[in-house]
Amino acid sequence: MSVELRQAAAALSRAAQQLRAGDPHGALESLRGGLAMLPGDATLHAVLAVVLLRLRRRHAARREAQIAVGLEPTLPLAHRALGLAHLAFRDLRRAEAALRQAVALDPADDESHAALARALAAAGRRDEAEASARQAMALDPSSPAHAAALGELALARGRRDEAKAHALAALRLQADDPDALLLMGEVLLEEGEVEGARDHARSVLRVDADSRPALQLLTAVKARTSLLLGLWWRFATFMSRFGRGTVLVLIGMFVAYRFAVIALEETGLAQGARLAQGVWLAFAAYTWIAPALFRRSLEKELSTVRLSRDF
């Protein structure tokens, strides 16, 4: 093995250790060093793309993944990195295509199946997502992230007990796994265990202060305990379980409201019809304003974390 190849392999090993230790910035520098010695190595470019995604630099990540695919079109990791980059842009069609190519090139790669499950879940195709997540778990039963992914899919469908079982299984595999901690926090929040949910979010933030899912959970805790946002949080949680059928449910609610108004007017209960209209308008205004308030609360949490890191 040449000196350059040995140094590239050392850079990859060092970057993997730094990622496991929660140091993506260190991994970035290690990979850059490796690429300085071996700029045509597709694996280095692909891993760099994954690290850049961890750092939320999606444009640079997509560029590196495209370079990796161009250098070695049969490298499964390159296609997986490209699929994840497309997913970061919410380009679900291209994400699925790249991830299916990764799976086709290496059907035994559990990480590619797990990434495909994420893309399918984002597209609202929950049955297919669950099948891919179960395939990932079958290939690597020791992965807490795979167990947590199955739990997230179960929770999205309202199967809270099943989600909790997956969370406990993931935590038994690795007590400090961020995905498992977040899943358990979400389960506890749905059970009304607000302090437990807050503690789990903070456990993740102590390791990764920029973890957006943890900040979202922390903000959801605040919404859950807020008089203004509490009702909206429960409504949003309930509606999320319908997946792609959410639009049909909302249309059904509107149709039911219109039938109620017409029925009240035809029976001479004009005051009742006006009351129903007022309630519907208030509901529409509330569900329009509440998400903006939630996003503002989340951005406040993000800015607080950034300030604390700057000082």
The verdict on pTM exceeding 0.75 is no
From the list 97, 49, 55, the residue with the least C-alpha distance to 77 is 49
Shared-domain flag, residues 147 and 203: yes
Shared-domain flag, residues 133 and 149: no
| pLDDT tens per residue across span 62-79 | 999 999 999 999 999 999
Task: Show contacts of 210-217: CB within 8 Å, 24+ apart.
Answer: 210/56, 210/305, 210/309, 211/178, 212/302, 213/182, 214/178, 214/182, 215/298, 215/301, 215/302, 215/305, 216/298, 217/182, 217/185, 217/186, 217/189
Shared-domain flag, residues 152 and 214: yes
| pLDDT tens per residue across span 284-293 | 776 667 667 6
Supply the pLDDT for residue 309.
Answer: 45
Shared-domain flag, residues 32 and 88: yes
Shared-domain flag, residues 176 and 309: no
- The set of residues, in sequence order, having a beta carbon less than 8 Å from that of 157 and lying 6+ positions away, is 126, 241, 243
Contact 142, 164 (CB under 8 A): no
Mean of pLDDT values over 139-149: 95
Token pair 């993997």 is found at 16
Domain that holds residue 180: 142-225
Mean of pLDDT values over 9-18: 85
Q: Determine the Cα–Cα distance for residues 152 and 121; give it in Å rounded to an integer.
A: 10
Is residue 59 over pLDDT 70? yes
Supply the pLDDT for residue 306.
Answer: 46
Shared-domain flag, residues 19 and 132: yes
Go through 95-107 and write b for each residue having 16 or more CB atoms within 10 A of its CB, e for each that does not. bbbbbbbbbebbe
Shared-domain flag, residues 205 and 238: no
**Boundary of a domain, candidates 198, 225, 252:** 225
| pLDDT tens per residue across span 91-100 | 999 999 999 9
Shared-domain flag, residues 205 and 232: no
Q: What domain count does the chain have? A: 3
Shared-domain flag, residues 33 and 157: no
Q: Determine the Cα–Cα distance for residues 119 and 125; give it in Å rounded to an integer.
A: 9
**Boundary of a domain, candidates 206, 225, 244:** 225
Supply the pLDDT for residue 152.
Answer: 94
Contact 98, 86 (CB under 8 A): yes
Cα 261 to Cα 233, 272, 285, distances in angstroms: 27, 8, 18
Supply the pLDDT for residue 90.
Answer: 94
Phi-psi region of 22 (alpha: psi -120 to 50; beta: other; left: phi over 0): left
Token pair 């560029």 is found at 63
**Boundary of a domain, candidates 116, 140, 164:** 140
Phi-psi region of 143 (alpha: psi -120 to 50; beta: other; left: phi over 0): beta
| pLDDT tens per residue across span 75-89 | 999 999 999 999 999
Supply the pLDDT for residue 310.
Answer: 39
Supply the pLDDT for residue 10.
Answer: 84
Is residue 192 over pLDDT 80? yes
Supply the pLDDT for residue 140.
Answer: 96
The CATH number given to whatever domain includes residue 187 is 1.25.40.10
